[in-house]
Structure 1
């Protein structure tokens, strides 16, 4: 299965269904299942995310925390960006010239699966 490593809190935002689009500077032709891996990187200042995450939300580092799928990959346009919710905009880097990876149904994992991540789309041998 393919996997992608994201920094927290963005990985947990996907696991909770708050973020349905992953934004990247590069396109992918891959469509199919993808594991969401949370990087070991420490949490950033959470002030900009106040009120988005439920109280008591855990942000597990260094683990696969959810399974979803990449359904589509679209180039960002002003029209696309203007149609997004405020929460989705806050949880991504939206600008013309970037790409929106449209995610499918999300299945959070409990317990999470500790593993080291990698850059880009990578092959997760666990599944």
Structure 2
């Protein structure tokens, strides 16, 4: 299972709110479409965003799992798929998001990365109802 590092407050908004689009400047590799992934909160927040709330100030931890259901490009010519969507970027569509009851500390990486076995097992043990 792969993980994706996302800066706060966006990782928390995915885990605990309604953010179901991840904005990226690169297209989702086809092999990841339909994949279940871990959502990892980066070590540092987005410097342009304001971070408020107990779920949004967690850093360097896996905070949720989600399924990537698709990807499309927003050319900025129309209102796109979500309040969270930004123009002129790829929108990775997320579904079946489940927040972990206890964040799992982990060092992230750019792009998709593979957590070590101990970290993955700590996330998997938290919610046996999630289809991995």
Q: Pairwise CA RMSD of aligned residues?
A: 2.2
The corresponding residue for 1:115 is 106
Instruction: Give the deviation of 1:78 after TM superposition.
Output: 3.6
* Separation in structure 2 between the aligned mates of residue 43 and residue 77 of structure 1, nearest angstrom: 23
Which runs of 5 or more structure 2 residues have no equivalent in the other structure? 122-132
Normalised to the residue count of structure 1, the TM-score between the two structures is 0.77
The corresponding residue for 2:64 is 66
Q: How many equivalent pairs are there?
A: 114
The corresponding residue for 2:126 is none
The corresponding residue for 1:82 is 79
CA contact (8 A) 1:17 1:106 kept: no
Higher RCO structure, 1 or 2 (CA under 8 Å, sep 6+): 1
Normalised to the residue count of structure 2, the TM-score between the two structures is 0.75
Determine helix, strand or coil for the equivalent of 1:11: helix
Which runs of 5 or more structure 1 residues have no equivalent in the other structure? none
* Separation in structure 2 between the aligned mates of residue 5 and residue 56 of structure 1, nearest angstrom: 19
1:2 aligns with 2:2: yes
Determine helix, strand or coil for the equivalent of 1:104: strand
Instruction: Give the deviation of 1:105 after TM superposition.
Output: 1.1
